[in-house]
């Protein structure tokens, strides 16, 4: 999707429990349409491997993007539902701007 932009990797926000987020944005106003969730991979046995799992919000601006949608309850502080589960087993909620392990 050519108009989908992603924040620079340096522009992450710590949300606790070893998790950080950065934004997917779209359009000239850089509307936030999703979030990348950075975390240490749980299935590699080392502390160096990092995962970035992305989800899109169920907002009108995400039309046309391929992938599942999460309900955007609040953008600031970020709250999405339901929980987010990575292929490595990392599982939790983002509520009130914080990572809450499931």
**Closest distance of CB 92 from Zn ion, Å:** 11
Nearer to Zn ion, 26 or 80 (CB): 80
Least Å from the CB of residue 27 to Zn ion: 29
Nearer to Zn ion, 26 or 56 (CB): 56
Between residues 56 and 90, which has the closer beta carbon with respect to Zn ion? 90
Nearest-approach distance from CB 49 to Zn ion, in angstroms = 9
- Count of beta carbons in the 10 Å neighbourhood of residue 63: 8
Which residues lie near Zn ion (CB under 5 A)?
A: 41, 51, 86, 88, 90
């Amino acid at each position: 999707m050519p108009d989908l932009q992603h924040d620079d990797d340096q522009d992450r926000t710590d949300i606790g429990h070893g998790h950080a987020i950065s934004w997917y944005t779209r359009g000239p106003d850089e509307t936030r349409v999703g979030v990348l969730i950075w975390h240490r991979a749980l299935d590699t046995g080392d502390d160096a491997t990092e995962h970035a799992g992305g989800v899109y919000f169920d907002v009108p601006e995400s039309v046309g993007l391929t992938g599942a949608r999460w309900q955007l309850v609040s953008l600031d502080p970020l709250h999405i539902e339901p929980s987010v589960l990575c292929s490595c087993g990392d599982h939790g909620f983002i509520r009130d701007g914080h990572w809450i392990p499931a």
